[in-house]
Amino acid sequence: MAGVPETIGDIRADLGEGPTWEASKRVLHWVDIPSRKLYTLDPGTGIHKQILLNGMIGAAVPRRSGGFVLAMQDGFYTYEDTAGAVKLLDPEEHLPGNRFNDGKCDAAGRFWAGTLSMSGEKGAGSLYCLDTDLRVRKAVDQVSIANGLGWSPDNKVMYFIDSAARQVTAYDYDLARGSLSNRRTVVALPEGNDLPDGMTVDAEGMIWIAHWGGGQVTRWNPREGTLLERITLPVSLVTSCTFGGDRLDELYITSAKADLSDKEREEQPLAGGLFRLKTRTTGLPAYPFGG
Binding residues for a divalent metal cation: 17, 147, 197
Q: What are phi and psi of 282, to 5 degrees?
A: -125, 155
- The yes-or-no answer on residue 102 being catalytic is no
Tell me the binding residues for substrate.
Answer: 99, 101
Q: What gap in Å lies between CA 235 and CA 252, rounded to an integer?
A: 14
Count of Cβ atoms closer than 10 Å to residue 84 Cβ = 13
Annotated catalytic residue: which of 162, 194, 197, 202?
A: 197
DSSP string, 74-110: TEEEEEETTTEEEEEE-TTTT-TTEEEEEEEE-TTS-
Q: What gap in Å lies between CA 17 and CA 103, rounded to an integer?
A: 10
Query: What angle is formed at CA 192 by the lines to CA 190 and CA 198, rounded to 5 degrees?
Result: 80
The amino acid at 197: D
Tell me the binding residues.
Answer: 17, 99, 101, 147, 197
Active site residues: 197
